[in-house]
Amino acid sequence: MERRALRSFGRSMLAEWALDPAVTYLNHGTVGATPRRVLEAQQRIRDEIERQPSRFLLRELSAVAIGAPLERPRLRAAAAAVGAFLGARAEDLVFVDNATTGTNAVLRSLEFRDGDEILLTDHVYGSVARIVAFVARRSGARVRTVELPYPPRCPRDVTEAFAGALGPRTRLAVVDHVTSESALILPVAEIAARCRAKGVPLLVDGAHGPGAIPVDIPSLGADWYSANLHKWAFAPRSSGVLWAAPERQAGLHPAVISWGFDEGFTTEFDWVGTRDPSPHLAAPAAIEFMEELGAGAVRAYDHGLAWEAARHLAGRWGTALEIPEEMTGAMVTLPLPERLGGDEARATRLRNALLFEDGIEVQIHAWRARLWVRLSAQVYNEMADFERLGEAVLRRA
């Protein structure tokens, strides 16, 4: 059950983060920002590891153990806590370093043949497009990119555009839960139903899902869900998860093969060589913090602020906010004034000027000969932060 927010959100919440208070941080979505108490929980785990490193890593961490593990593997206990947050069973969920690693695991485990088709959207994240290109090049598969209607009038527009491109050669579909640059929530459950009807497996890139929007993975009806906990779920960086439907777990291997090879889905992913497991083991502390604040209250605040800020800025800049509110969560992307140009070099110049001259960190990119800004709202932000951005942009337009 959601608890009421323990305190009011806004600038005072910065005390919970290690962020430089001199910088107006409007870029939570890019690499996340970890609350102090989660970092402290992570440090306690590191201290525990360092007291007896080999015992912790080789006997307690995973089922790949020297002899029987002393107790329930620590990663499995963490997976149970994270799974509860995402509506998933622990046995269907493994930790990966990040969404990129999870997506690599799925794509590199599948076998494609010459002429098979992998379906993407034109809003795909760049690294995912590259993983698909790599797999396609090795197998002779064809990559087909569906242009999504932009601005969409409603989620159905997107479902229809994507479903209309599913063909007899389509062997895999890949869609984002929340797109990266355009920051749109895609109708994943509806797309999954249409894929299923055509017998096409669906991989969801949920990098921006957990923490930002309600996520109940099994109910989406997808085959795989690769996500980050370090963007919006308050976990330390290098904390991603990969969920696989039970019937998709056989033959699914991590991108790095190690001692768990062929020992079963969770065992195989829980040991991919010696690494620091503290980001994964601290994920339950991150979720605990979010639930203490009220996960629903956090999402409602983030979305409300991002949307209000986008409306304010569109008005201030005289630009159009044409996307439906229901397709946005904690981030909203809108066009910048046309006078600022529309190429990548201008985007970089503006991003740097805002950071180094005004102390504002925000994501800016070029698309369709325009510059666009992606606003991220987190509980430590308030309207005044976005008003500062509005005026700083106007000074340069």
Ligand X SMILES: Cc1ncc(COP(=O)(O)O)c(C=O)c1O
Both structure tokens of 161:
């555009």
Both structure tokens of 66:
């020297």
**Please, which residue, 12 or 348, has the CB nearer to ligand X?**
348
Region near ligand X per CB under 6 A, out of 80-88, 204-212, 215-223, 271-279: 204-212
Q: Which are the contacts of 345, defined by CB distance < 8 A and separation ≥ 6?
A: none
Pick one of 208, 248, 280, 299: the residue that binds ligand X (CB under 6 A): 208
Region near ligand X per CB under 6 A, out of 43-51, 122-130, 195-203, 255-263: 122-130
**Please, which residue, 49 or 375, has the CB nearer to ligand X?**
375
To ligand X, the closest distance from the beta carbon of 270 in angstroms equals 19
Region near ligand X per CB under 6 A, out of 201-209, 214-222, 270-278, 345-353: 201-209
Burial of 317 (0-12, 13-18, 19+ CB in 10 A): buried
Look at residues 86, 78, 106 and name the one whose alpha carbon lies nearest to residue 277: 78
Site membership for ligand X, residue 205 (CB under 6 A): yes
Pick one of 24, 42, 159, 228: the residue that binds ligand X (CB under 6 A): 228
Site membership for ligand X, residue 180 (CB under 6 A): yes
Region near ligand X per CB under 6 A, out of 69-77, 200-208, 337-345, 359-367: 200-208
Site membership for ligand X, residue 333 (CB under 6 A): no
**Please, which residue, 57 or 303, has the CB nearer to ligand X?**
303
Both structure tokens of 116:
């098979």
To ligand X, the closest distance from the beta carbon of 208 in angstroms equals 6
Q: Which are the contacts of 182, defined by CB distance < 8 A and separation ≥ 6?
A: 123, 150, 333, 367, 372
To ligand X, the closest distance from the beta carbon of 36 in angstroms equals 21
Instruction: Decide if 223 contacts 245 (C-beta within 8 A).
Output: yes
Residues near ligand X (CB under 6 A), total: 12
Region near ligand X per CB under 6 A, out of 69-77, 121-129, 145-153, 158-166: 121-129
Taking the C-alpha atoms of residue 306 and residue 362, their distance in angstroms, rounded to an integer, is 13
To ligand X, the closest distance from the beta carbon of 60 in angstroms equals 27
At 176 the three-state DSSP class reads strand
Site string for ligand X, 81-100 (x = CB under 6 A): -----------------xxx
67: left (phi over 0), alpha (psi -120 to 50) or beta: left
The DSSP symbol for 234 reads -
Taking the C-alpha atoms of residue 380 and residue 116, their distance in angstroms, rounded to an integer, is 47
Taking the C-alpha atoms of residue 76 and residue 388, their distance in angstroms, rounded to an integer, is 45
To ligand X, the closest distance from the beta carbon of 327 in angstroms equals 15
**Please, which residue, 99 or 340, has the CB nearer to ligand X?**
99
Residue 242 CB neighbour total at 10 angstroms? 26
**Please, which residue, 241 or 340, has the CB nearer to ligand X?**
241
**Please, which residue, 57 or 185, has the CB nearer to ligand X?**
185
Q: Which are the contacts of 112, defined by CB distance < 8 A and separation ≥ 6?
A: 118, 135, 136, 139, 140, 141, 171, 172
To ligand X, the closest distance from the beta carbon of 176 in angstroms equals 5
Taking the C-alpha atoms of residue 86 and residue 3, their distance in angstroms, rounded to an integer, is 17
Pick one of 60, 92, 117, 176: the residue that binds ligand X (CB under 6 A): 176
Site membership for ligand X, residue 125 (CB under 6 A): yes
Binding site for ligand X (CB under 6 A): 98-100, 125, 127-128, 176, 180, 205, 207-208, 228
